[in-house]
Chains A and B, each alone.
Chain A
Amino acid sequence: MSPFWIILAVLGIAILGFVAGVARARASVNGNLVKLHSRTGYYGSFVAIWASLPAFLLLGVWLIVQPIVVDRAVTAQIPDEAIAATGNLSLINGVVRSVAEGLSRLSATERRDLDIGVVAARPLIASKGVALASDVEPYMIRAADTLNRLQAAGVIGRTALVLLVSVVGLGLALLRIRPAQRARNSVETVIRGVLLSASMVAILTTVGIVFSMLFEALHFFSIVSPINFFFGTVWDPRFAAAGSEGTAGQFGFLPLAWGTLYISTIALLIAVPIGLFAAIYMAEYATAQVRAVAKPLLEVLAGIPTIVYGFFALVTVGPMIRDWIAIPLGLGSSGNNVMTAGVVMGIMIIPFVSSLSDDIITAVPNAMRDGSLGLGATKSETIKRVVLPAALPGIVGSVLLAASRAIGETMIVVLAAGVATNISANPFQEMTTITVKIVSQLTGDLEFTSPQTLVAFALGITLFTVTLGLNILALHIVRKYREQYE
């Protein structure tokens, strides 16, 4: 049975367990429910939990362990010479997997023919719809047989064992039902455990992100030295084949960092003044009606998918900047440039600055404003000398959050910034960013041993570290600020 059906079967047993548990609880007090410690449903749930939870845990463990065990057994069948000859175990493993797939499709006579050597393995297996990357060695057939045998045994084993555990759990739980048994407490403990594990998903995700990138990035740094990566000024990974000489400096990070910073800076130069003044106006001057209309409308800008901004940059803003500014000034001839990406990204992050700053300005206690106004300051003087200095940490936090958004933004730069790597001060030139290169290195065919693919993970973890740092700093500042006035 496939895991899906096993899960369904276990759920079925659990439902049966629920019904049986309720019935047994009722029977144990002859229908006089007052004598029960908990309501009957809790006894049912108690049995259902015992019937399902251990079984699911076992299934989960089995699904993780089995591939590892099978892999070991299959690898043991592959002679060391073969590994040494190709130098690549995963390649052989791939072929063995295909052979196993092909062998499982053979009829008994075809299999006999293959074993006594009447027919060749590769064309026979190909005729079953499995194309092989290389010729089939005898050890591969042995390994493939082991694989098939273990897989089949594994399927039977896990089905039998999981269902057995489920039924035994149900039986044991049913036997334990007594009127005085604290079923509700047991069930609630389990629910609490489930709630806790749900909240652990957040930690697991972070751990997953860090480890998934860390291992591949370390792998990359074993091929290309971190110094060449972080301080290299040439980005041209096409010719940097694995292990070949003269690859140093081909994976230079600096051009990408420059493009990213340049575009983000332009975006912030647009978003911070507009966002900040909009926030000040909405918080201090606007009437309730204006605020009720303007604030959600500005926030719509944050709800529009980034791909839409990318397209807007590509077909509208890019050609406009090219034809009206870049070409007349003689600074560039492409619609894909730093200015286009920066301006559009700036529009996108306006609401990130304005909304958070608005909240923060509104949170400044009114007593401070009243004090200043009472001394005869005008409203703008109050804002500039009292409100803004008080709100400054929070505003800095919101700008940092917007900056982290800008650095990690992908679709706008993929469509509008270009792919050429330049380090130049001319904002009408094509430049590229970290995220653009992650996308271009990770789309298409992937070979997880080549530095061309692995570099994306090194870029990814760099990006993650930078944005994480900015986020932590920003959240810390904002929280500190809030505590001050709450």
Chain B
Amino acid sequence: MTDAAMETAKPVATRPARTDFGLKKRYRVERRFRIYGVVAIALGLFFLVALISSIVLQGISAFRQANVEIDVLLDKAIIAPNGAVNTDALMTGNVFRYDDVIRNAFAAQLGIAKDDKGTARTAYNLVSKGARIQLRAMLAANPDLVGTRQKVSFLLDSNVDAFLKGHIDADIPESRRPIKDRDIAWIKQLEDSGALSMKFNTGLFTFGASSRPETAGVGVAVIGSLYMMAIVLALALPIGVAASIYLEEFAPQNRLTDLIEVNINNLAAVPSIVFGILGLAVFINFAGLPRSASLVGGLVLTLMTLPTIIIATRAALKGVPPSIREAALGVGASKMQAIFHHVLPLATPGILTGTIIGLAQALGETAPLLMIGMVAFVADYPVTPNDPATALPVQIYMWAGQAERAFVERTSAAIIILLAFLAIMNITAVFLRKRFERRW
């Protein structure tokens, strides 16, 4: 393409008489060049659309979850064999006794004969293994229910869920699918009786890590991420703003200033995994902070976010015209007063925008968190920042490693949640910039 253009350009210069020489060809090249640009942009946008739509298409079904509502007789003889009905007694002892209660109720719902234990057991496999924990928690919270008859809604097993969503094909041979013909008949029966329903999957937002897809959720991970964001905000914002004010307003032109600037620019481009190694070596190994804690995660992400915030804040400070400073100085303010009373408030929208973008970056970061041991199976909500915690992107990473189809769906759903958080943050940043931006 370049060669073609050169061939035609030279004769034009030497033979001015033939002004139309090769003009058509040159215009063709021109058009082609333009099309390359359009194609490049279209490809970029296509990739974006492909990425988002593939995630959404795979994940959207995870927001619905199959539930079954059954009439459960909370038989005191089974639940409280020794007669004690209180929270302690209900939480201790054999947890499988709750299975018995639910299995009986489920068998009754399906019309399976009471003495046909084997069939009842097979049918009960349709219900999530988390049902017993759910029932135990429900009764422990309200022991008065023991001995009564209650309508309770249970999660169905992930395979049933997948079948109902059409992820498992009923046409393939029975031996090769996890849902057998008899199961399908039962599912039909439950559907017809109205006991089975697809509900909004609240568990996805409240549960923690679990080896069973239907009881796995991002709730615990979101809390861990929130802790880390709080730590990043509390540390990176003040330090970043202070550093920017120094560099932009006070720093003399000397070696130290140059060194700081070079360092900040380089830290912004250091691979994130290196920050993880730093956290492992300094915060965990040297300072003795606990592994897997959101405190350490927050500190590592703070160091990672600082350059972003500093660069944005410096741009915002630079955007405030010198006349503001001069006016303040002119009426007798000290330099410090001019900056803190006048320049900084005017730069706030820009600083906030940069901070939110930095936070969004930190929220999506995974690699450094792997280094500091946040790849842990955390099923309980962390209470303090020192407790073992996990983060939303790390949870996604761990689920991505699971083979089951139900986890693919949930991973995509977790990604949708993560992207939703990021979108909200970025839109807020854009809104802030649009709403409060001043043109001088």
Render B241-281 as a binary contact track against A, CB cut-off 8 A, 1 for contact: 01111110011000000011011111101111111111011
Distance in angstroms between the alpha carbons of A129 and B142 in the assembled complex: 32
Contact A195 B250 (CB under 8 A): yes
Contact A467 B397 (CB under 8 A): no
Q: In whole Å, how far is A214's beta carbon from the nearest beta carbon of chain B?
A: 10
Render B51-66 as a binary contact track against A, CB cut-off 8 A, 1 for contact: 1001100100000000
Distance in angstroms between the alpha carbons of A278 and B41 in the assembled complex: 5
Contact A443 B269 (CB under 8 A): no
Q: In whole Å, how far is B135's beta carbon from the nearest beta carbon of chain A?
A: 31
- For A406, the closest partner residue in chain B by CB is B271
Cβ of A405: which chain B residues have Cβ within 8 Å of it?
269
Candidate in B37, B242, B370 with the most chain A CB atoms within 10 angstroms:
B37
Distance in angstroms between the alpha carbons of A393 and B251 in the assembled complex: 29
Contact A381 B277 (CB under 8 A): no
Task: Report whether over half of chain B's contact residues are helix, strand or loop; otherwise say mixed.
Answer: helix
Cβ of B270: which chain A residues have Cβ within 8 Å of it?
209, 408, 464, 467-468, 471
Distance in angstroms between the alpha carbons of A338 and B366 in the assembled complex: 21
Q: In whole Å, how far is B87's beta carbon from the nearest beta carbon of chain A?
A: 24
Task: Report whether over half of chain A's contact residues are helix, strand or loop; otherwise say mixed.
Answer: helix
Q: Which residues of chain B from 281 to 340 have any CB-CB distance to chain A below 8 Å in the complex?
A: 281-282, 285-286, 288, 303, 306-307, 310, 334-336
Contact A410 B242 (CB under 8 A): no
Contact B411 A305 (CB under 8 A): no
Q: Which residues of chain A from 186 to 222 have any CB-CB distance to chain B below 8 Å in the complex?
A: 188, 191-192, 194-196, 198-203, 205-206, 208-209, 212-213, 216
Contact B34 A380 (CB under 8 A): yes
Candidate in A195, A199, A212, A315 with the most chain B CB atoms within 10 angstroms:
A199
In the assembled complex, A139 has its CB within 8 A of some CB on chain B: no
Cβ of A439: which chain B residues have Cβ within 8 Å of it?
273, 367, 370-371
- For B46, the closest partner residue in chain A by CB is A347
Distance in angstroms between the alpha carbons of A294 and B288 in the assembled complex: 48
Cβ of B277: which chain A residues have Cβ within 8 Å of it?
209, 212-213, 438, 442, 456-457, 460
Cβ of A307: which chain B residues have Cβ within 8 Å of it?
364, 366, 393, 396-397, 400, 415
Known: A380-B34, A435-B273, A471-B266. A308 touches B306 (CB 8 A): no
In the assembled complex, B422 has its CB within 8 A of some CB on chain A: yes
Contact A442 B396 (CB under 8 A): no
Distance in angstroms between the alpha carbons of A415 and B34 in the assembled complex: 37
In the assembled complex, A117 has its CB within 8 A of some CB on chain B: no
Cβ of A5: which chain B residues have Cβ within 8 Å of it?
none
In the assembled complex, B47 has its CB within 8 A of some CB on chain A: yes
Cβ of A404: which chain B residues have Cβ within 8 Å of it?
269, 271
Cβ of B259: which chain A residues have Cβ within 8 Å of it?
203
Q: Which residues of chain B from 1 to 48 have any CB-CB distance to chain A below 8 Å in the complex?
A: 2, 5, 9, 12, 26-27, 29-30, 33-34, 36-41, 43-45, 47-48
In the assembled complex, B408 has its CB within 8 A of some CB on chain A: yes
Contact A468 B266 (CB under 8 A): yes
Contact A408 B271 (CB under 8 A): yes
Known: A213-B281, A308-B418. A467 touches B55 (CB 8 A): no
Cβ of A281: which chain B residues have Cβ within 8 Å of it?
34, 36-38, 40-41
Contact A376 B12 (CB under 8 A): yes
In the assembled complex, B419 has its CB within 8 A of some CB on chain A: yes
Cβ of B375: which chain A residues have Cβ within 8 Å of it?
443
In the assembled complex, B360 has its CB within 8 A of some CB on chain A: yes
- For A438, the closest partner residue in chain B by CB is B273
Known: A304-B419, A409-B271. A316 touches B54 (CB 8 A): yes
Distance in angstroms between the alpha carbons of A307 and B47 in the assembled complex: 16
Known: A195-B242, A443-B373. A303 touches B397 (CB 8 A): no
- For A474, the closest partner residue in chain B by CB is B269
Known: A294-B45, A303-B426. A198 touches B243 (CB 8 A): yes
Distance in angstroms between the alpha carbons of A109 and B214 in the assembled complex: 52
Contact B267 A202 (CB under 8 A): yes
Partner of B37 from A195, A280, A467 at Cβ < 8 Å = A280
Cβ of A216: which chain B residues have Cβ within 8 Å of it?
281
In the assembled complex, B239 has its CB within 8 A of some CB on chain A: yes
In the assembled complex, B365 has its CB within 8 A of some CB on chain A: yes
Render A281-296 as a binary contact track against B, CB cut-off 8 A, 1 for contact: 1101100000000100
Cβ of B426: which chain A residues have Cβ within 8 Å of it?
303
- For A343, the closest partner residue in chain B by CB is B47
Distance in angstroms between the alpha carbons of A199 and B243 in the assembled complex: 4
Known: A199-B242, A205-B278, A206-B263. A401 touches B269 (CB 8 A): yes
- For B266, the closest partner residue in chain A by CB is A471
Q: Which residues of chain B from 333 to 374 have any CB-CB distance to chain A below 8 Å in the complex?
A: 334-336, 360-361, 363-367, 370-371, 373
Contact A285 B34 (CB under 8 A): yes
Q: In whole Å, how far is A53's beta carbon from the nearest beta carbon of chain B?
A: 15
Cβ of B393: which chain A residues have Cβ within 8 Å of it?
305, 307
Render B362-395 as a binary contact track against A, CB cut-off 8 A, 1 for contact: 0111110011010100000000000000000100
- For B243, the closest partner residue in chain A by CB is A199
Contact B334 A188 (CB under 8 A): yes
Q: Which residues of chain A from 350 to 387 have any CB-CB distance to chain B below 8 Å in the complex?
A: 350-351, 354, 376-381, 383-384
Partner of B367 from A67, A294, A306 at Cβ < 8 Å = A306
- For A63, the closest partner residue in chain B by CB is B287
Candidate in A196, A285, A379, A456 with the most chain B CB atoms within 10 angstroms:
A196
Q: In whole Å, how far is A344's beta carbon from the nearest beta carbon of chain B?
A: 9
Cβ of B27: which chain A residues have Cβ within 8 Å of it?
378
Distance in angstroms between the alpha carbons of A309 and B26 in the assembled complex: 41
Distance in angstroms between the alpha carbons of A405 and B270 in the assembled complex: 8
Distance in angstroms between the alpha carbons of A196 and B260 in the assembled complex: 10
Distance in angstroms between the alpha carbons of A315 and B12 in the assembled complex: 55
Contact A198 B242 (CB under 8 A): yes
A203-B263, A285-B34 known; 12 new pairs, CB 8 Å cut-off, are A195-B245, A195-B250, A199-B244, A209-B277, A212-B280, A278-B44, A280-B37, A294-B41, A311-B396, A380-B29, A471-B270, A472-B262
Can you report 25 A-B residue pairs in the complex whose CB atoms are below 8 A from each other?
A199-B244, A202-B260, A203-B259, A205-B267, A209-B274, A281-B41, A284-B37, A298-B44, A301-B51, A303-B364, A304-B419, A305-B364, A305-B418, A311-B415, A315-B54, A350-B47, A378-B29, A378-B30, A380-B29, A414-B367, A439-B273, A464-B270, A464-B274, A467-B269, A471-B265
Q: Which residues of A contact B (CB under 8 A)?
A: 67, 184, 188, 191-192, 194-196, 198-203, 205-206, 208-209, 212-213, 216, 273-278, 280-282, 284-285, 294, 297-298, 300-301, 303-312, 314-316, 347, 350-351, 354, 376-381, 383-384, 401, 404-405, 407-411, 414-415, 435, 438-439, 442-443, 448, 456-457, 460, 463-464, 467-468, 471-472, 475
Q: Which residues of B contact A (CB under 8 A)?
A: 2, 5, 9, 12, 26-27, 29-30, 33-34, 36-41, 43-45, 47-48, 50-51, 54-55, 58, 238-240, 242-247, 250-251, 259-260, 262-267, 269-278, 280-282, 285-286, 288, 303, 306-307, 310, 334-336, 360-361, 363-367, 370-371, 373, 375, 393, 396-397, 400, 408, 411-412, 415, 418-419, 422, 426
